[in-house]
Structure 1
Amino acid sequence: MPDSDPPASFAPAPLSPEAEAVVGRWNPQGAALLRAASGPGDAGAAAVLPAPEAVALIGPADASTLLLRTELARFEPCIALTDPMVDPGAAPAVALLLLDAGAALGASTLNVVSRLSSGGTRTLFAMNNTHAYPDWRAVLDRNTALLTQVLGADPAIVPVSARLSVAARQSGDAALLDRSGLAQLHTRLTAAAGADGGPDRWAAVLHRVLADTRQRIVDQSAELNSGAEVARLREERATLLAARDGGRAQAMSALRNRMHLARMDLLHDVGARIRALNATARSDLDRLGRRATKTYPADLQQSVNQLTAELDAVLAQRLADLSRQLEAATGPTPDAPARPPVPRTDPPPRLGPDPEPRHRGVEDHLMIALGASGGFGLGRLAVAPLTLVPALNYATIPVTLLLGAAVAYWVVRARGHIADRAHIRQWVSDALVNVKAQLEQRVSTALVEAESQLTDQAVRATTTRVVESDRRVAELESRVRELNSRQPAQLAACRRDLQILDSVHTQR
C-alpha cells in the first residue's frame, strides 16, 4: 500500500455500492480492513470510533518477530503492539500469539493459551515464517486441532510471512502481499483492537485502501496491454513442444550407450576370467600325478560352473544398475513398478567330450629303444667293477639286463606321463576356447533381452509424459485464445473500475 497521506479535504463519507464492489473485487483485504476499521456501524456514519486497545505480543524476541512488527507498523490504522513476552503476568484485553511454522505447539504454550482464555483475553493466532517450511500446512492443522481442544472453538490461525511482505513491498507485487498474510492479520488486529478514533484516521485508511485498489487495477491494465501473460504462456508452450517426446530420445540414446559399455565390460570380464582359469589349469596340471589326470576334466567342469555363477551375479548387478540409471533418467513407470532385468538361468556351458586316450606313436617306440639302450649302458657301467673278478663275470649279465629293463621302464613311463600332461593341456585350451565362446554368447543374449525390456520400460515411462505434455500444450493454446478474446473486455472493465474510483476522489 502507498504511504502517502490523504488530502486534507478527505472527509468520512460512505462509499457507493459500485465503489464497494470494486474494492471488494480488486482488494478483498482492503475491503475487510474498511469493515474492521468502521466498527459495527456504517463505514462513514461513525463520526467517532472507539479508542484502540493495545495488543500484547506473545512470542519469541527474535529477528523474525521484529520483522513482523516492522511490517505490521506500515499498515493503517497502526496497531500498538507491546514488546514480545513469553509468559504474560496479567491477562491483557487483546493478545497476539505467534506460533512457529516449523514445529507443533508444546504444553507450555497451551497452558499460556488456557490462562489467557480463562482471563477473558481475546487471543489472535499467527503462524510466522511459513516461507521457510514447505510442510507448514501439516503443522497448521496440528496446531489448530490442539488449540481447538483448549479453546473449544476454531482458533482461526493466520499463516503469515514477513519476508514475503518485504519482497512484495520491494517489487510492488500486490498478489505477493496477499500471499504473505500480513494484510489479513492486520485486518483481524484492527477488528479486535479497534481503530483510532476520529474522521481523519478513517479518511487515512480509506485513502490507502482506494489508492492500493487503484494501483492494482493500473498494474493489471499495464499487464494486459503488454501481453506479458500471453508471451509467458507461448514461451511455456514452445518449451513443451521442444521436449514433446517426454525425453524419450535422450533416454534411448543413453540406454544404447550404457548397453554398449556394459557389453564391452562384460565381454572383457569373460576373457579375463577365462585367461585366469586357463593359467590356473596349467598350474594344476604341472602338479598332477599320473592317476589324477584321469579325473581332472570333472574338476575343471566344476571350476567352469563356479565361474559361470560368478559371471551371472556380475551380469545381474550390471543390469540392475542399468535399470536404476534408466529410471532416474525417465522417472518411475506409472502403471507398474520397474523391475530390473534378470538374466535367464541357463545351465553352465559344458567343456565338451572328455579327452580321447592318447595314441602311442613312433615317439613311444623310440623312447623304449632309447630307454633300453641307456639302461643297458648304465647297467654295464654299474657292474664294471665286478668284471675284474673272473668268477663273477657271468653274474654281471643278469644284473646288467635287470638294470637296463628298469631304466627303460622308468624312461618310458616318465615320457608317457609328460605326453599325457601335454595331451590334457591341449584339451584344456581347446575346451576353454569353447567355454569362452559360450559365455560370450550367454552375455550377449542376456544384454539383448535386457535391452528389449529396458526399452519397453523407457517407452512406458515417457509415454505418460508425452500425453501430459500434449494435454498441457492444448491447455496453453486454449488459455492463449481465451486471453486474446477476453483482453478487450478486461481492459474495458479496468477502465470502468478506474472511473468509479476516480469519481470517489472527485466527490471527496
Structure 2
Amino acid sequence: MSRAAREREAGGSDSGVIAQTRRMIEIEIRNLRDSVPGAELRAERSQLLADRDGRRGERLVQVRSRLQRARGDLSQQIAEATRATVAGARAWVDAASRAELGSVPTRLQHEVDHHTRVFDAAMAAAVEVAGTTGCMPSSRIPEGPPRRQRGNEDRVTILVGASAGLGLGRIAVTPLEMIPALEFASIPVTLVLGGAAAWWLARTRGLTADRAYSRSWIVESMSTVRAQWEQRVQSVLLEAEADLGAAIMAESREQVASAQARIVEIDGELRELAAARSGQLASCERDLAVLNAAY
C-alpha cells in the first residue's frame, strides 16, 4: 500500500472516531440539559412543605369534633342517670318505713357517687387522658332534708281520727250498753278505741306526708346534682380541649422547626447537584467547541 493510501485510510479512521466522539458529547449535553437532578430530593422537599406543621389544623378539628361528640353523649347520659336515680329513689321511698326514710340522703349520695365515677371514666376515655378529674371534688347532694314541720293538717287529722275512732268505738260497744251492768264499762272502751284509731290515722297520714316530703326533696336534690354533673363535664372538656390544643401546637412547632432544617439541607444538596450539572455541561460544551474548531 502506498503512503498516500495509508494516510487516506488513517484520516478516514480518525474522522470516524471524531464524529462518534462528537455525537456522544452532543447526546451527553442534551441529556444534561433535559434532566433535572435531585428528583427524589425535590419530592421530599414538597412533602415536607405540605406536612411540615404536622397537619395541625386537621388535628385540632378532630379534637374539637371528638370532644363535642363526648359532650353530647355525656349530656344524654346525665339526663338518663338523673331520671333513673329519681325514679329508683322515689320507688324506694314509697315502700320505706318512717325509720328508713332517715337513710334517704345516704342512699341518694351513694347513687350519685356511682354515676359520678361512670361519668369521670367516660370523660377520661373521651379525652384520652387518665385522671382528668382527679383534682375535682365529687358531686354532692344538698344537706339532708330538715325535719318536716307538723302543720294544721296533722292536727286536723288527729281530730278527724279521734272523732272517727269515737264513732267506731260507739258502734263497737253498742252490744255492751244493752247490758245494764256493763253500760259504764263501755265508756273507757270507747275512749281506748277512739284513741287507737286517732293514733293510727295520724301515724298513717304522717308517714304519707313524710314520703311525699322525701320525694319532693329527692327531685330538688337531683336537679342540683344534675347541674353539678353538667358543670363538671363542661369544665373537664374545656380544660382538655385547651390542653390537647396546646400539645398539638407545641408538637407542630417542633415539626415545623425540624422540617425547616431538613428543607435547608435539601436546598444545599440541590444547589450542589445543580452546580455539578452546570460544570459537566460546561465541560462537554468546551470539548465540543474544541472538536468543532479543530475539525
Same fold judged by TM-score > 0.5? Answer: yes
Equivalent residues of 1:246, 1:466 under 8 A apart: yes
Distance 2:89 2:60 in 1: 43
Counterpart secondary structure, 2:260: helix
Given candidates 61, 65, 74, the residue that maps to 1:266 is 74
Equivalent residues of 1:319, 1:341 under 8 A apart: no
> Is 2:54 the counterpart of 1:246?
yes
Given candidates 365, 381, 385, the residue that maps to 2:171 is 381
> Is 2:109 the counterpart of 1:301?
yes
Counterparts in 2 of 1:365 and 1:316: CA distance versus 1, 3 Å: same
Distance 2:82 2:244 in 1: 29
Note the C-alpha offset of 1:237: 4.1
| Cα RMSD, aligned residues only | 3.2
Whose helix fraction is larger, Structure 1's or Structure 2's? 2
Of structures 1 and 2, the one scoring higher in RCO (CA 8 A, sep 6+) is: 2
Given candidates 254, 258, 276, the residue that maps to 1:468 is 258
Equivalent residues of 1:341, 1:450 under 8 A apart: no
Q: Give the residue type in structure 2 aligned to 1:470.
A: Q
Distance 1:423 1:438 in 2: 23
Distance 2:95 2:115 in 1: 22
- Aligned match of 1:450: 240
* Greater shift in the superposed pair: 387-396 or 424-433: 387-396
Q: What TM-score, normalized to structure 2? A: 0.77
Equivalent residues of 2:59, 2:248 under 8 A apart: yes
Distance 2:91 2:62 in 1: 43
Given candidates 65, 84, 91, the residue that maps to 1:283 is 91
Counterparts in 2 of 1:497 and 1:259: CA distance versus 1, 3 Å: farther
Give CA-to-partner distance per residue, 1:116-138, whole Å, 9 cap, x none.
xxxxxxxxxxxxxxxxxxxxxxx
> Is 2:158 the counterpart of 1:368?
yes
- Aligned match of 1:104: none
Equivalent residues of 1:304, 1:348 under 8 A apart: no
- Aligned match of 1:405: 195
Distance 1:355 1:364 in 2: 19
Unmatched tracts of structure 1, length 5 or more: 1-213, 324-339, 500-508
Count of residue pairs brought into register by the alignment = 268
Counterparts in 2 of 1:280 and 1:221: CA distance versus 1, 3 Å: farther
Distance 2:29 2:255 in 1: 36
Note the C-alpha offset of 1:343: 2.4
Counterpart secondary structure, 1:295: helix
Structural mapping, 1:312-327, within 5 Å: 312-320=120-128
Counterpart secondary structure, 2:114: helix
Unmatched tracts of structure 2, length 5 or more: 1-23, 290-295
Note the C-alpha offset of 1:433: 1.3
Counterparts in 2 of 1:318 and 1:461: CA distance versus 1, 3 Å: same
Over the matched positions of the two proteins, sequence identity in percent amounts to 39
Equivalent residues of 2:66, 2:126 under 8 A apart: no
- Aligned match of 1:344: 134
Distance 2:236 2:217 in 1: 29
Note the C-alpha offset of 1:483: 4.5
Structural mapping, 1:428-443, within 5 Å: 428-443=218-233
Q: Give the residue type in structure 1 aligned to 2:143.
A: P
Q: Give the residue type in structure 1 aligned to 2:107.
A: D
Counterparts in 2 of 1:281 and 1:221: CA distance versus 1, 3 Å: farther
- Aligned match of 2:149: 359
Q: Give the residue type in structure 2 aligned to 1:306.
A: H
Counterpart secondary structure, 1:356: coil
Note the C-alpha offset of 1:241: 3.1
Note the C-alpha offset of 1:416: 0.4
Note the C-alpha offset of 1:292: 1.7
Note the C-alpha offset of 1:496: 7.8
Q: What TM-score, normalized to structure 1? A: 0.47
Equivalent residues of 2:37, 2:274 under 8 A apart: no
Distance 1:361 1:223 in 2: 108
Structural mapping, 1:31-430, within 5 Å: 223-229=31-37, 237-320=45-128, 342-430=132-220
Counterparts in 2 of 1:488 and 1:348: CA distance versus 1, 3 Å: closer
